[in-house]
Amino acid sequence: MAKIPVAMQMYTLREDCSKDFIGTLKAVAKIGYAGVELAGMYGVAPKELGKILDDLGLKRAGGHWGVEPLEKEFDKTVEDVKALGSSFVTIPGLPGSYTEDAEAWKRTAALLSGIGQKLLKEGIQLSYHNHNHEFKLFGGKHGLDILYENSDPKALHAEIDTYWVQYAGVDPATYMKKVANRLSLVHIKDMADDDMKSFAEIGNGILDWDAIFAVAKEAGSKWLIVEQDSCKRPPLESAKISFENLKTMGAV
């Protein structure tokens, strides 16, 4: 079975990007990442950025867009995504009013299904990225379960964030199996073995990567996306450590 390509979530490198976005993209390509998932374009026009990514040999694992642009500026969002040469859009989280109770989750499921169906007609796949709060229980069910049980599995996929699932007290590989029919993207993020549950480079923490990678392969995931919300060393150094550890694991 072919290996799943590995991308860098550029939020990890946001401080570097704010100083030198293009230089940071060059550094990511030099490390060896196959692609990037964007979290902002730092003033670079989508079409121009698409050309830069092509020149660097970086493919697109999509980008994070808020739900508001998708609701209120759908055509503009689609135009930007296509100009980037991307086929993935991921919602990185939702305002509280969308998730405050079970009924809100059901309304959100219907909303995102509708947006996702419109995006599919444009050749774009919509996903939702979780944190830990989506595992709050409503009538014995996690909010995230309500979202996926009440939405179109083709129109709304899951970008499972392994760290936040673990943080919520749920086994990441087990949860990934629950949504395997919609697991296009996986945020691979490790947790340090400390009282703070600190973020760690991939392979330097406690997550069971063999199990996680096995489920991702079985599910036919399109991208593994490295993200580290905060780093104890320069972020580009952390990005390189994660990539080198993934090579040692045989994941790239």
The predicted pLDDT at position 2 comes to 82
Distance of CA 251 to the CA centre of its chain: 18
Residue 182 belongs to a domain: yes
Task: Provide mean pLDDT across the span 97-117.
Answer: 98
> Residue 233 belongs to what domain range?
6-249
Distance CA 96, CA 104 (A): 9
Distance CA 162, CA 174 (A): 11
Residue 214 belongs to a domain: yes
pLDDT tens-digit readout, 91-103:
999 999 999 999 9
Task: Provide mean pLDDT across the span 155-181.
Answer: 98
End-to-end CA distance of the chain: 13
Residue 1 belongs to a domain: no
Taking 80 as the threshold, does the pLDDT of residue 37 lie above it? Answer: yes
Distance CA 72, CA 21 (A): 28
Count of domains observed in the chain: 1
**CB neighbour list of residue 191: distance below 8 Å, 6 or more residues apart:** 163, 166, 167, 197, 198, 199, 200, 205, 206, 207
Residue 185 belongs to a domain: yes
Eight-class DSSP state of 228: -
pLDDT band at residue 59 using 50, 70 and 90 as cut-offs: very high
Nearest to 242 by CA among 16, 21, 29, 33: 33
Q: What is the CATH number of the domain that holds 227?
A: 3.20.20.150
**CB neighbour list of residue 158: distance below 8 Å, 6 or more residues apart:** 127, 128, 130, 148, 179, 182, 183, 184, 185
The predicted pLDDT at position 228 comes to 98
CA-atom Rg of the chain in angstroms: 17
Is the pTM for the entire model greater than 0.95? yes
Taking 70 as the threshold, does the pLDDT of residue 1 lie above it? Answer: no
Could you tell me how many residues make up the chain?
252
Q: How many CB atoms lie within 10 A of CB 133?
A: 15
Residue 186 belongs to a domain: yes
User: Which residues lie across from 188 on neighbouring strands?
Assistant: 226
Task: Provide mean pLDDT across the span 212-231.
Answer: 98
Average pLDDT in the chain: 97
pLDDT band at residue 234 using 50, 70 and 90 as cut-offs: very high
Distance CA 167, CA 109 (A): 24
